[in-house]
Structure 1
């Protein structure tokens, strides 16, 4: 079996395991009365975080373009931190749901 097929099988098995963990239903988790307002606020926060992430990507891209024009390539770590933050913000709610 080629290395590419082995890698594909490994990634597929990890995805299947993660989907099983994250998508596991929790029938005992019932929202308390009046939680619709809290969920509305959380929806606003999620929208705001998404807007800030897009703005951050645009800002980092502009900084990298200016630095490249000057011949300085020291802003690549900012892109890595931005990506790590986006992954954490995107995966965090699913991990919390899986643990509760």
Structure 2
């Protein structure tokens, strides 16, 4: 087989067939990632509510506890969780 025939055979293969096979593989992965994104969102909201409640109780009782570190920890986790989805969706086409 000549180089020209080989190049023609490679170029004639439909790219959609390989993309369709990849979609079958990543379909369940996308479902799991969507569920995890919702769980991270719910955990972030719950964490902020808990920290806010503890701050309100501390102010009301007159305790001088430092809650800023807890607040920043929860906010950092929210930022990591929020950026994980776009990073994965950016990397997924190349997998």
With structure 2 as the length reference, what TM-score do the two structures score? Answer: 0.62
Provide the rounded CA distance (Å) in 1 between the counterparts of 2:87 and 2:28.
23
Higher helix share: 2
Residue in structure 2 matched with residue 52 of structure 1 by the alignment = 43
4+ residue runs of structure 1 moved beyond 2 angstroms?
A: 92-98
What number of residue pairs does the alignment pair up?
71
Cα RMSD (Å) of the superposition? 2.3
Between 1 and 2, higher relative CO (CA 8 Å, sep ≥ 6) is seen in: 1
Provide the rounded CA distance (Å) in 2 between the counterparts of 1:50 and 1:92.
12
Query: Do the aligned partners of 1:60 and 1:79 also contact (CA within 8 Å) in 2?
Result: yes
Consecutive unaligned residues in structure 1, runs of 5 or more = 1-29
Aligned residue for 1:34, secondary structure, equals: helix
- 1:91 aligned to which of 69, 83, 90: 83
Provide the rounded CA distance (Å) in 1 between the counterparts of 2:60 and 2:38.
33
TM superposition shift of 1:93: 3.2
Consecutive unaligned residues in structure 2, runs of 5 or more = 1-18
